[in-house]
Every structure is written in structure tokens, then in C-alpha cells.
Amino acid sequence: MAQPSRPSRFPLGSFVVIAAVLGGGAAAFAYTAGWLSPERLSRERVLAALSPPGGPAPGHRRNHTKGLCFTGSFEANGAGAALSRAPVLAAGRYPVIGRFNLASAVLAQPDGQARVRGLSLSITGPDGSEWRTAMITAPVFPVSNVEAFYALQMAARSKEPGAMGAFAAAHPEIAAFGAWAGSAPWTGSYAEERYNALNAFLFTDAGGRDHAVRWSVRPEARPVPVPHEQLTAKPPDFLNDEIKARIAAGPVRWTMTVTEAGPGDPVADPSKAWPEERRTVEVGTLTAEAVQEEQDGPCRDINYDPTVLPPGMRPSADPFPAARSSAYALSYERRAAEAAAYPHSAPGGRP
């Protein structure tokens, strides 16, 4: 029974205990939140490092900012079932909402100047589970880990003349990316590119065995090399115009391939390619059937978080999918708060 109080005759000590408990709790919370360690690499700092000189475009993604939506299908041939029990790899045809994009945080980026292009996919399997992936044209990622990615952004935006040189000296893994960027032919179409999900994931097959894999989509269209000067002389949106015209004339296809790591292949480092001879399985065909402007398109409100995976697929020791998931969530949160700055052009414009 609650009883008449028998107050402590020496309350000072009790108040000290209470203050210590509450102060300790609040301090532990602040520590966990990172408020006591501003030097820790946070997603806020990564987004700030990606921010272009004039600041981010309100209402838009914080990176891969310029893009175009498409819809289509993924027709799985069933061969992927040998690697993963994901329903989306069982033979069948599944809907796709995708996005062509440039690897740049500048909304007005001229298409001819973006060395790296991207393709994002959301594929919905027969059970309703989703497979989201955001791939790029580079065959390797420039850096090995998230701290190096941040350092690369800081070096790229630095006004110090030797900043990039110093970065490359400290992060020699960037040489493979640099070699590709300097020598790989440019093309005049999103349809002629191969896109690679450079991060490794774990596929689990029906027998419960795990397979470390990376996947790509390879174009059906033959890549036609175009001198870079010709591309920079084109209108700033020529890639968007080209793919709209191409898809209007007929569907555009890629073959999706999944490559399994061999023993000892670097799973946790997307800056290292796996040997060419690794087992590669063609798992299906991606078809882009219609294009929509992003403003009114179905891809606008999708967060292409690479950790949205169906059962039978999960992240591996590669540190990037977790970091991307975290940073993409903040990008989504910010652009959602700015939604009024990027409205649909017409009511009901979105399908």
C-alpha cells in the first residue's frame, strides 16, 4: 500500500545519486548519437562532402542527381536459382522501375562531361519482395572503404594544387579506376553501356549454401566508341534525348550476369576486380520499355538503397552497401523535406 512518506533525513546524498543516474543516462545517449564525437565520419559529413559548389539542388538526390525514369521488365531464365533462392531469380517476368543517371551531384551536369553513368533498378518479385540495385559503368570502384571515399570527395573539392596527387599516393587502389577512366571508350547512349553493381553480396541457394557474388547488366546494343570531344559538343541532355528516342522505337535490353567469387577473391573491397575467368551465370534479361521524365516518373520517389534485397540475398563483408544505405536514407529524408521544390508538373502526373 502506498503509504505516508517517511522522508529521508539526509536528502542531499539521494539527490546526488539521482543527478548522477540521469546525467550518466543523458551522456550515454549523447555519446551514442555521436554528439560528443564530431570528428566521427557521419552521413551528414559525407553528404556535405558530395555537395556541389552552389549547394545541393532542393528536392533532388544528393548524388547521381540528374536522372530519367524508365519502366520495363526483368525476365529471369531460372539459371540464377543455382546461386540464390530469391523468388525474383526463378524463371518468370517481373516488373522493373529503373533510372538512368549521371554519377555527379550537379543537377545541370552536361551529359557529355560525366565519365561515370549509372543505372538503378527496382525489381519486384512474384512474392512482392523487392530487389533494388544502383549500378555504374566503371568496372571497379575508385576506393576500398568509406573513409577513403570521403577523403576522395574532400580532395576533389580541395583548392590545394596537390590534393588529388596526395590522395592518389595515399590510396593507390584508385589507379585501376583511373586507368579505366583514362582509356575506356565513351559511348553516345545509355543503351550501349555495361553497368556493374561493384559491391559484393551473399546469395543463398535452396540448399542453404552461401555464394559471394557481384552482378552486372551487359548491353544487347553494340557499343560504338565516340571521341569525347564529340560528346562535349552535343546538347547537355543528349543522353536523355537519345534514350527516349531509342526506346520509343523499340525496347532496349541488357543481359544480367552474376559472377561468383573464387577462393581468396576480395569480397570486402570493390576497388579490386575479380579475375575474368570466374564462374559467371546469365540470370535473365532486363528490358526498358518506356521512359518517363523524373519529375513525374515512378522512379522519383524511390530510394535505390542497395540493401533492399529479396530473401536469398544479403549484404556481404563489403562495407559500402551499409554506408550507402545510411547515406541514401539521409539524402531521401532531406529531399522529401524539400518536396515542394521539385513538384510534379501536373496533378496526377505520377503513374
Partner 1 sequence: MTAARFSPMQRLLHWLMAACILAMLFIGVGMVSTLSTRYLALVSIHKPLGIAILLLALLRLGLRLRRGAPPLPSDLPEPMRLAAHVSHVALYGLMIAMPLLGWAMLSAEGYPVVLWQGLRLPPILPQSLEAYALLRQAHGLLGYAFFAVILAHLGAALFHALVRRDGVFEAMAPVPGRALD
CB of 43 to partner 1, least distance (A): 6
User: What gap in Å lies between CA 31 and CA 308, rounded to an integer?
Assistant: 29
| Close Cβ partners of 123 (under 8 Å, ≥ 6 residues apart) | 74, 88, 94, 95, 96, 130, 131, 132
CB of 302 to partner 1, least distance (A): 6
133-162 positions binding partner 1, by CB under 8 A: 146
Residues 298/350, Cβ–Cβ less than 8 Å: yes
x/- map, 10-49, partner 1, by CB under 8 A: -x--xx-xx--xx--xx-xx--xxx-----xxxx--x---
CB of 333 to partner 1, least distance (A): 5
Contact status: 77 vs partner 1 (CB under 8 A): no
Residues 83/205, Cβ–Cβ less than 8 Å: yes
Stretch that binds partner 1, among 158-166, 228-236, 269-277, 335-343 (CB under 8 A): 335-343
Contact status: 333 vs partner 1 (CB under 8 A): yes
Contact status: 233 vs partner 1 (CB under 8 A): no
Label residue 250 left, alpha or beta by phi (over 0 means left) and psi (-120 to 50 means alpha): left
CB of 335 to partner 1, least distance (A): 8
| Close Cβ partners of 229 (under 8 Å, ≥ 6 residues apart) | none
Q: Counting Cβ atoms within 10 Å, is residue 21 exposed (0-12), middle (13-18) or buried (19+)?
A: exposed
- Using the rule CB under 8 A, which residue among 106, 168, 184, 308 binds partner 1? 308
Q: Return the beta strands (E) in the chain as ranges.
A: 67-76, 92-102, 117-124, 130-136, 186-187, 195-204, 210-219, 225-226, 252-260, 280-293, 313-315
x/- map, 80-119, partner 1, by CB under 8 A: ----------------------------------------
User: What gap in Å lies between CA 65 and CA 332, rounded to an integer?
Assistant: 12
- Using the rule CB under 8 A, which residue among 108, 162, 181, 301 binds partner 1? 301
| Close Cβ partners of 231 (under 8 Å, ≥ 6 residues apart) | 111, 112, 186, 188, 238
Query: Based on CB atoms, which residue is closest to partner 1, 275 or 348?
Result: 348
| Close Cβ partners of 285 (under 8 Å, ≥ 6 residues apart) | 74, 75, 77, 253, 254, 255, 256
247-266 positions binding partner 1, by CB under 8 A: none
- Using the rule CB under 8 A, which residue among 136, 195, 321, 331 binds partner 1? 321
Q: Counting Cβ atoms within 10 Å, is residue 42 exposed (0-12), middle (13-18) or buried (19+)?
A: middle
User: What gap in Å lies between CA 247 and CA 291, rounded to an integer?
Assistant: 7
- Using the rule CB under 8 A, which residue among 255, 280, 295, 326 binds partner 1? 326
Query: Based on CB atoms, which residue is closest to partner 1, 128 or 263?
Result: 128
With CA atoms as reference, report the closest residue to 271 among 108, 88, 139, 73: 139
CB of 16 to partner 1, least distance (A): 10
Stretch that binds partner 1, among 193-201, 269-277, 281-289, 309-317 (CB under 8 A): 309-317
CB of 6 to partner 1, least distance (A): 5
Identify the three-state secondary structure at position 335: helix
Contact status: 4 vs partner 1 (CB under 8 A): yes
Interface ranges with partner 1 (CB under 8 A): 1-8, 11, 14-15, 17-18, 21-22, 25-26, 28-29, 32-34, 40-43, 46, 128-130, 146, 300-303, 305, 307-308, 311, 314-315, 317, 319, 321-323, 325-327, 329-330, 332-333, 335-337, 339
